[in-house]
Structure 1
Amino acid sequence: MKKKLLSFAFLFLTSFCFSQDHSKIIDSLKTVIFKKPSDSIKIKAYGDLCWYYRTESIDSAFKYGNLALKLSKETSNQVGEAQAYNDIGILHYNLADYKKALKYYDASLKIRSVLKDTMGIAALYSKIGLIHQNTFKLDSAIFYATKALKIYEEKNHTRYIAYIKSNIANIYRGLKQYQKALETHLEIADVNKSINDNLGLTRTYNNIANAYLFLKDTVQSEAYYLKSIDLALKYNYKKELAGLYNNYGGILHDMKKYLEAIDYNTKSLKLREELKDSYGITSTSLHLAGLYLDLGDFNKARNYLYEGLNLSKSFNINELKMDAYDKLASYYAFKRIPDSVLYYRQLFKSINDTIYNSRITKEIAEVQEKYNSAEREKEIQTQRAEIAEKELKLNRKNTQIIGLVTLALLLFLLGYLLYNQQKLRNKQLQKESELRQALVEIETHNKLQEQRLRISRDLHDNIGAQLTFIISSIENLQYGFKITNNKLKGKLTDISAFTKETINELRDTIWAMNKNEITLEDLQARISNFIDKANISASNSNFRFNMDEALSKELVFTSVRGMNIYRIIQEAVNNAIKYADASNIEIHIKKKYEAVVFTISDNGIGFDINEIEAGNGLSNMKKRANDMDATIIYKSQIRKGTKIILSV
């Protein structure tokens, strides 16, 4: 039995209620617009008019679809814009202008993706899949259909799941997996019955009939076509009925019931012209051309052939162009014009190669197949056997390749697992090493801390006690004996004062040694204590100390760094008191970028930085700054005071 291209089920694009009087709905929608409603309601009304006009007047449908799109853009209504693109895409789809339909579907898909409108996205995936299905891009068709199915399964929409599975089954049919397509359609029929989806059941019966036809079971195919036709007539599903008449006409054609086939195809053509179904008109015209060829009515055959060819070219429908070229070759074979036969067979072969892009088949002799001798039939069978043998070899090679790829994947997986295991082992060893290092550092730190505590205790208990004893002895000498020598008396007083200062410095050192870290708050308190003492000893000087509130008192320095900062401030203040004869001494602590800045300024006599030789005080401050990787700047002018800036 000769296989024919059958029409696809156009899901989501057919109205569920053709019997409804659209003119009344259209009038009521126009009344709504006349009352000047809000923009959102007007956009909805324009969209509905686009939908209902699509079967009444395609020009009006485009008019209202474009009005909905324009107003949606002007009012930044993304929902309306996405719907308008969708509706206009459907109009182009119904005209078989698949390129423009795909353009509008893509525009709608971008907006709905931003809006996260999952149901709208699923519907668009389904429509895009149907475009690829109708243009024989079956890999893309199944890709988009599967994406739509996944969304509907997540949402548990039984009706839509059945529709998408039906489309996927039709793709299986296009891939020549007829048994798989049939099983899927039979499963869908049970779902349609369970949810009383008569439209879905009508389409499914049609698809089952198609599957049986490809499996060469004409009896079952005819039975399901008739079941589907009965449902379509009962519920007035015009679009489905048009396709069914066309397909059933194909069955009658194969049964050589040409006049009955012409009757059904003529009914199909009339309905498709009424529905303005460009694809269907083209397909049915070519079916009628084939019937008239078989009846020998070449004039009618020629008219339908060129009508079908022109339509297929205008809509760029490759599979229908193939059918037209095939039948034209048959027509010119009947007319015994071999040049034209070869011309149209070459056109047929060119498109066939473009569509399948896998193997080049020699089908130029297809027209002669009906008329050549038994020897020619035998030659064709031999060619088919050779092709089958090549396919078998190709399948074997594919199996070998799959086996090798699988083996390579297993080896890669094993290697990856071993690599990962070694990587984890290395990481574990590294962590163990880091842990051991940390333990060693902690132990060393603890030992150092113990040593520091021991030294600080020794300093306090021994050196501190000895210094205190010296002070006490000097004071006893001063008060126990009447010393009349003023020079000696002054010397003893100086020694006593120096010793007391040494005790204070010793206490500062012990304070720093007893701490692992010195907070800014600790440093502030220490500086305040020092200033209080300096204020007592230098009664002619005024002291001012402030700290920027932006600085956190929890800021931490190491004990060495904290002690160095304190000593630099101490040295700077002492210099201002002893050498600068300053009446105002200020200490400021503030934050500047990522640094803490300590500024000690006075209004003393100052000095020339370029001429003065750096004494121990300035040298010590600079050395301490260098030790803690800080910067220190001296600014001074004669009789204008001195400013020391330490940035840590």
Structure 2
Amino acid sequence: MIRFLFCFVCIIFIEANLFAQPKKIDSLNHYAVSIYKQSPQEAVKILNQALRLAQDGMYIPEIAKTKNNLGIVQRDLGALELAMSLSKEAFEASPDSLVRASAQNNLGVINRKLGNYEDALENYIYADRIYEKMGLEKEQATVNNNIGMVYSMLQMNEKAVEYHEKALTFFKKIADKKGISEAKNNIAIIHASEGRFEEALLYFKQSFAIEKSLDDKKGMAESVNNIGGAYYYLGRIDSAVHYFKKSAMIEKSIGNFSGVSASYNNIVQVLLDKNELNEIEVYLDSAYQFARQSQTAEDIEMSLLNYSDYYAAKKEIGPSFEYYKKYVAFKDSVLGKSNMETLQEMEVKYDTEKKQNEILQQRAQLAEKEMEVRRKNTFIFGSLGLVLVLGLLGYLLYNQQKLKNHQLQKESELKTALAKIETQNKLQEQRLRISRDLHDNIGAQLTFIISSIDNLKFGFTDIGEKLGNKLSAISVFTSQTIYELRDTIWAMNKERITFEDLQARIANFIEQAKNASENTEFSFNIEESVDETHVFSSVEGMNIYRIIQEAVNNSLKYALADEIEVNISKEGEQYQIEIADNGKGFNLETIDMGNGLNNMKKRAREIDGTLEVQTSKNGTSILLRLAKPFTEG
């Protein structure tokens, strides 16, 4: 009796222990996930403890879950290869759909960081299918946010914003502050890449406020770094350096090497702009070492490009060109991993599968309804006789044919829409490839020409004044060609340009003109009646910008003006743009029109506009009237 009682107690103890261990492992995982944003190193220790317990007890689900959580933390710490290995093992071993989806999402983030964009999109789509099937809105939002980041890296900004807006809608619906912050931050990055820096700065600051309220050091570091970037492009250099250094300090405190590299690269760019070359080398070497340690593709790219610019600033053309070749080779190797056409086909295939599943579900529902109708009709047929049976059969056949025709029409519309999307994507890919070739090949060659001319001037002390002036003129002309090439690339990358885009471009050009002519006052005025949401084609936007650019340059070169105004107003449904100065003017009847005025008039005609020139000894006014309003967005 005593022996039996002892065995019974042992069985109870063993069963209690079997249930207790998985529960303890789960608690350790939960605690590590809750603290890893504030203290990732401590989270790693706790997760390793949980993994040892799970492996000792051979608890397969807990092993997979813990490995995936370790993969997420190691990813944020910059250990990308280790993180990828852990999440792959978790995906292959776990029987839990949620863990498998989380592992695929983490693999997507890692592949995106490594430049494997096709693999990243495939990971995200796999995870999204599971989350959508289970109705998990927060997880769907996270995946949509990540897909948007892939398109952003490929410079497909419209697609990127579309997915970030979807994510933001989900996050707001479930009141997820962290998710709202990340979506706002991603949208702000796209605004910044398109030159809308004030709008981007507002979004970055909103994101930082949320991260600070959550005490999320990783999120705070990213937001602070982005704020610094916005200040840099707005010309507020001291504020930019302050925020970049603050970001690097936070990233170091949590051991995120990729974040430290990004912050140091940003500081290098600011110092290059200020031409403070003595301070650069320490930050430059550190940025490159941290980038290689974290194996983050975009950070390595930026470090190589910064090395090239640094040596170019020091007039050391050989090392500069060597680093530029390394940068181009590395970038091509990364882009070679991702086939844009394949990405588009994957997304279309995913959307098509969803549509086909919906159609199959509709067919099943229709089949059930038809069976129900037939059962009812059978009862009626028996009651009313053969004549009524024939009438109802005819009605059913007509209904079936009508439904079939309607379904065929829907399928045809779907195929047409998919073909249109594929064509648009191919056109966008062609435009991006051409602009990238212009930037990487022609831009690099022009930069090399400028550096070579400058070296000729400094290397040969006995160059005559006439030849020296000629070389300076060639250098200035080549620099102007680079600026015009950048403007052309800007226009090529957009199918449509908003009035807000054009306004930012004009403001940037006027700011450059101010720096080049300190004795001239500029003013740029826009009436409140002008609608900033108006859109127009890239050809229209580029011609308007070139007319303003040509008119301002003429005022600076020939009119000897000390005041130049650019005024944009709206008269009825039409727009008019005036460029006026207080210079010495010229005689329209005797002066040679030259290429300048003729080019402006030609550009005005191309966009169905007119150009009016009024001049006197008190100044000149050039008025561009548009014969029709811009296309509405």
Q: Tell me the distance in 1 between the aligned counterparts of 2:449 and 2:192.
A: 22
Larger Rg: 1
Partner of 1:275: 254
Partner of 2:273: 294
* CA gap 1:185/1:36 in 2 versus in 1, 3 angstroms: closer
* CA gap 1:197/1:97 in 2 versus in 1, 3 angstroms: same
* CA gap 1:228/1:66 in 2 versus in 1, 3 angstroms: closer
* From 333, 338, 342, the counterpart of 2:317: 338
Query: Any residues of structure 2 matched to 1:2-401 within 5 Å, and which?
Result: 38-48=20-30, 50-51=32-33, 54=36, 61-112=43-94, 115=95, 117-357=96-336, 361-362=440-441, 364-365=444-445, 373-377=475-479, 380=482
Query: Any residues of structure 2 matched to 1:619-634 within 5 Å, and which?
Result: none
**In 1, are the aligned partners of 2:308 and 2:320 still within 8 Å (CA)?**
yes
Q: Tell me the distance in 2 between the aligned counterparts of 1:224 and 1:185.
A: 13
* CA gap 1:356/1:276 in 2 versus in 1, 3 angstroms: same
**In 2, are the aligned partners of 1:333 and 1:367 still within 8 Å (CA)?**
no
Partner of 1:493: none
**In 1, are the aligned partners of 2:38 and 2:218 still within 8 Å (CA)?**
no
Q: Tell me the distance in 2 between the aligned counterparts of 1:56 and 1:224.
A: 23
**In 1, are the aligned partners of 2:71 and 2:106 still within 8 Å (CA)?**
no
List gaps (5 residues or longer) in structure 2. 1-16, 340-432, 455-474, 495-633
Task: Quote the offset at 1:368 in angstroms.
Answer: 6.0
Letter in 2 for 1:83: K
Q: Deviations over 1:191-224 (max 9, x none)?
A: 3222211111111111111121223322322221
Letter in 1 for 2:267: L
Task: Quote the offset at 1:262 in angstroms.
Answer: 0.7
- Structure 1 range deviating more: 310-319 or 125-134: 310-319
**In 2, are the aligned partners of 1:105 and 1:128 still within 8 Å (CA)?**
yes
Query: Any residues of structure 2 matched to 1:495-644 within 5 Å, and which?
Result: none
Q: Deviations over 1:223-273 (max 9, x none)?
A: 212222232233333222211111121111112211010111122112212
**In 1, are the aligned partners of 2:221 and 2:251 still within 8 Å (CA)?**
yes
Q: Tell me the distance in 2 between the aligned counterparts of 1:285 and 1:250.
A: 12
Q: Tell me the distance in 2 between the aligned counterparts of 1:295 and 1:212.
A: 25
* CA gap 1:366/1:288 in 2 versus in 1, 3 angstroms: farther
* CA gap 1:349/1:366 in 2 versus in 1, 3 angstroms: farther
Letter in 1 for 2:286: E
SS at match of 2:209: helix
Task: Quote the offset at 1:60 in angstroms.
Answer: 5.3
Paired positions, count: 355
**In 1, are the aligned partners of 2:74 and 2:82 still within 8 Å (CA)?**
yes
Task: Quote the offset at 1:156 in angstroms.
Answer: 1.0
**In 2, are the aligned partners of 1:346 and 1:364 still within 8 Å (CA)?**
no
**In 2, are the aligned partners of 1:94 and 1:278 still within 8 Å (CA)?**
no
Task: Quote the offset at 1:385 in angstroms.
Answer: 10
Q: Tell me the distance in 2 between the aligned counterparts of 1:51 and 1:229.
A: 21
* CA gap 1:383/1:197 in 2 versus in 1, 3 angstroms: closer
Give TM-score, length-normalised by structure 1: 0.50
Letter in 2 for 1:40: P
* CA gap 1:165/1:54 in 2 versus in 1, 3 angstroms: closer
Q: Deviations over 1:142-185 (max 9, x none)?
A: 11111111111111111111111111111111121112222332
* CA gap 1:388/1:88 in 2 versus in 1, 3 angstroms: closer
Letter in 2 for 1:153: E
Identity of aligned residues (%): 20
Q: Tell me the distance in 1 between the aligned counterparts of 2:112 and 2:126.
A: 15
Q: Tell me the distance in 1 between the aligned counterparts of 2:67 and 2:40.
A: 16
Q: Deviations over 1:267-317 (max 9, x none)?
A: 211221222222111111111111122222223221111100011122222
Partner of 2:345: none
SS at match of 1:96: coil
Q: Tell me the distance in 2 between the aligned counterparts of 1:370 and 1:55.
A: 47
**In 2, are the aligned partners of 1:242 and 1:271 still within 8 Å (CA)?**
yes
Q: Tell me the distance in 2 between the aligned counterparts of 1:53 and 1:376.
A: 55
Letter in 1 for 2:478: R
Task: Quote the offset at 1:318 in angstroms.
Answer: 2.4
Q: Deviations over 1:16-43 (max 9, x none)?
A: xxxxxxxxxxxxxxxxxxx999432443
* CA gap 1:197/1:88 in 2 versus in 1, 3 angstroms: closer
Q: Deviations over 1:460-516 (max 9, x none)?
A: xxxxxxxxxxxxxxxxxxxxxxxxxxxxxxxxxxxxxxxxxxxxxxxxxxxxxxxxx
* CA gap 1:214/1:122 in 2 versus in 1, 3 angstroms: same
Q: Tell me the distance in 2 between the aligned counterparts of 1:238 and 1:63.
A: 18
**In 1, are the aligned partners of 2:145 and 2:183 still within 8 Å (CA)?**
yes
Letter in 2 for 1:82: A
Q: Deviations over 1:321-357 (max 9, x none)?
A: 1111111111112222222212211211110121123
* CA gap 1:149/1:56 in 2 versus in 1, 3 angstroms: closer
* CA gap 1:53/1:227 in 2 versus in 1, 3 angstroms: closer
SS at match of 2:322: helix
Q: Tell me the distance in 2 between the aligned counterparts of 1:185 and 1:293.
A: 33
* CA gap 1:141/1:285 in 2 versus in 1, 3 angstroms: same
SS at match of 1:336: coil
Partner of 2:615: none
Larger RCO (alpha carbons 8 Å, 6+ apart): 2
* CA gap 1:222/1:56 in 2 versus in 1, 3 angstroms: closer
* CA gap 1:183/1:97 in 2 versus in 1, 3 angstroms: same
Task: Quote the offset at 1:49 in angstroms.
Answer: 6.1
Letter in 2 for 1:199: K
* CA gap 1:202/1:364 in 2 versus in 1, 3 angstroms: same
SS at match of 2:58: coil
Q: Tell me the distance in 2 between the aligned counterparts of 1:170 and 1:327.
A: 24
Q: Tell me the distance in 1 between the aligned counterparts of 2:315 and 2:111.
A: 38
Give TM-score, length-normalised by structure 2: 0.51
Q: Tell me the distance in 1 between the aligned counterparts of 2:180 and 2:29.
A: 29
Task: Quote the offset at 1:391 in angstroms.
Answer: 11
Q: Tell me the distance in 1 between the aligned counterparts of 2:332 and 2:184.
A: 32
Q: Tell me the distance in 2 between the aligned counterparts of 1:265 and 1:221.
A: 16
List gaps (5 residues or longer) in structure 1. 1-34, 393-648
Q: Tell me the distance in 2 between the aligned counterparts of 1:387 and 1:263.
A: 32
Letter in 2 for 1:224: Y
- Structure 1 range deviating more: 273-282 or 215-224: 215-224
